[in-house]
Amino acid sequence: MKFLKRLCLAVAAVLTVTAALPFAASALTFTPSNGKDDNDNPVPILLYSKSIYMIDLSTGAPLVDINSTEKLSPGYLTQLMTCCMILDKFGGNEKQLKNTYVYGTSEAYDELYDTGAPTADIRPYEEVSYYDLIVSMVIASSCEAANITAMNLADSLFDFSLKMNDKAAELGMTDTKFSSAHGFFTLQNYSTAKDMAKLCKYIVDKYPVFHDICSKEYMQLEATEEHPEGTNLYTNNYIVSTYSDYYYAAAEGIKISNREDSGRCLASYAETDGSKYLIVSLGAPIEKTPADMLKGEQDPDSIYGSDNVYYNILDHISLYRWAFNSLTATDFINPNSEVTEAPVEFGEGADYVNLKPAKGYTALWPVDLKTDDVEKKVTVFENIIAPVEKGDVLGKMVLEYHGEQLASIDLVATSSVKRSKSSSTIKIMLSFFRSQEFKWALFIIIMMFSVYGIAYFMYLQLKYLKINKKE
């Protein structure tokens, strides 16, 4: 009986832990393709960036992963963390951002003089709002705006970089280290596409005011004494510029970086018909490839005919077109379907219970990949003992695609099963008679009777001998 009590407690513990984790998200990613070749094999999309990470912005599920954990310089994408520090300080309150003014002393400018760092022409001691500092960084990659932010949110530029790294750790950016607020210098300033995607998702999800800024192709800073008519800023993130050959209508910002030492980097997101995707890419080439030089010679009016080809933007547009045209929400699990049955011991009127998924499972899936190749592996827990309540977790189903796990879903009882007192008593009795303990007890009893029989026989023999001697 004690054994059965311990078993019931162990099963209950397993059910409690499993119930707390009813669903594990997919980690499967895809290789984007442009249709199929003559042999019906997918033709991979030509991508230029060293590192790419693409997610479903609604769920956070990864879709494309190309060297996403490689540590690279994010260039001016570093300023997204600086913007994040401002947004966190004011909770994204647009009114407070626009009504709080700061300025930069010479310390904010000293390291930038004669370096060619991008600027929004904010002068020393010119008072600007935190809102305009964000605008300057997002639209113009303004390095002085980043340093002005750092000097006003921390005691020094170095102290601000420590705060940036604290925030990175908080967001789970485990392969990131920031050494400046602006990203102009690359020494000890690195991140990954995957980490930067975490930062971008955090900002985009939490701060609507940021959406409005990063999607603009043009903004004007507030007028100041130094700039009585304000400062006009035009984005070089041509994916949102309607005047550019790189314009993509569904795209929203987020920020671009083009530097010799870090390559072409880009963070963007796009939405169409309720589908939202986010991409971060690092390390696309700065110089035109030999193949594209030839294209430019053959067609001078194309994008390849200009001096610069923005390979980072080309990558994002190619991936968005693939996603919007190829990915579709696909149902893999019907939550109302009975999957299997589980045997139940000591049940009253039933020795099994049917199991169904705790919830359905729907995932984005390329139309050119067969869903028939997704395997459903079912496991039912052992030693299930009544009583069983409807909804109890009694198994799990794992979905796998070519060895990669898509999801793990709990299987739950579709009905309740009461405990039968008579069957459990009989079961316990029968199990006792088959137990090792019973066998030992029976052996001891037989030995005792044997010893008693031998002793009694010897007693009779001795008594008989005594009688014969008297005679």
Band (470; pLDDT cuts 50, 70, 90): low
User: Would you place residue 28 in the very low, low, confident or very high pLDDT band (cuts 50, 70, 90)?
Assistant: confident
pLDDT-based confidence at 22, cuts 50/70/90? Answer: very low
Instruction: Please tell me whether residue 418 adopts helix, strand or coil conformation.
Output: coil
Q: According to the model, what pLDDT value does residue 427 have?
A: 56
Q: How many residues does the chain have?
A: 471
**Residue 188, Ramachandran bin (φ over 0: left; ψ between -120 and 50: alpha; else beta):** left
Select the more confidently predicted residue: 433 or 102.
Answer: 102
Other CB atoms within a 10 A radius of the CB of residue 371 amount to 11
**CB-based contact 246:267 (threshold 8 Å):** no
Count of C-beta atoms within a 10 Å radius of residue 71: 14
Q: Higher confidence at residue 441 or residue 354?
A: 354
pLDDT > 70 in the chain, percent: 90
> Is residue 323 scored above 60 in pLDDT?
yes
Total Cβ atoms within 10 A of residue 393: 21
The whole-number average pLDDT for the span 103-124 is: 96
In the predicted model, is pLDDT for residue 2 greater than 60? no
CA–CA distances in Å: residue 82 to residues 87, 104, 262: 9, 15, 19
- Mean pLDDT over the full length of the chain: 89
Q: Are 45 and 317 in contact (CB under 8 A)?
A: no
At residue 35, the pLDDT reads 81
In the structure encoding, which two tokens stand for residue 375, read together? 């395997």
Q: Which of 165, 192, 252 is nearest to 217 (CA)?
A: 252
Which pLDDT value is given to residue 254?
A: 97
Per-residue confidence band for 431, with pLDDT thresholds at 50, 70 and 90: low
pLDDT value of position 439: 77
| Bridge partners, 352 (sequence order) | 343
- Mean pLDDT throughout 32-38? 85
What is the pairing mode between strands 231-234 and 251-259? unpaired
Segment 104-118 mean pLDDT: 95
CB 58 within 8 A of CB 393: no
- Band of residue 454 on the pLDDT scale cut at 50, 70, 90: confident
Which residues in 421-442 are b (16+ Cβ under 10 Å) and which e?
A: eebbeeeeeeeeeeeeeeeeee
Region 172-197: mean pLDDT is 96
Q: If you average pLDDT over residues 108-128, what whole number do you get?
A: 96
Q: In which element (H, E) is residue 411 found?
A: strand 404-413
Given this model, what pLDDT does residue 13 score? 34
Which has more pLDDT, 257 or 18? Answer: 257
Q: Is the pLDDT of residue 45 over 80?
A: yes
Inform me whether the pLDDT recorded for 12 exceeds 50: no
The pLDDT, as a whole number, for residue 430 is 55
Q: Comparing 72 with 450, which gets the higher pLDDT?
A: 72
Give the whole-angstrom CA distance, residue 364 versus residue 112. Answer: 46
pLDDT digits 0-9 by tens, 336-377: 999 999 999 888 888 899 999 999 999 999 988 888 889 999
Structure confidence by residue, pLDDT tens digits, 51-108: 999 999 999 999 999 999 999 999 999 999 999 999 999 999 999 999 999 999 999 9
Tokens representing 162? 């420590």
Residue 432 — very low, low, confident or very high, per pLDDT cuts 50/70/90?
low
Confidence of residue 462 (pLDDT cuts 50, 70, 90): confident
In the predicted model, what is the mean pLDDT of residues 427-440?
65
Q: What is the pLDDT of residue 37?
A: 83
Q: Taking the CB of residue 356, how many other CB atoms lie within 10 A of it?
A: 20
Residues 393-425 pLDDT 10s: 999 999 999 888 989 999 999 999 998 865 555
Residue 3's pLDDT is what?
Answer: 37
Sign of CA dihedral 312, 317, 318, 322: positive
Helix (H) or strand (E) holding 328: strand 327-333
pLDDT of 217 over the 60 cut: yes
pLDDT score of 460 more than 70: yes
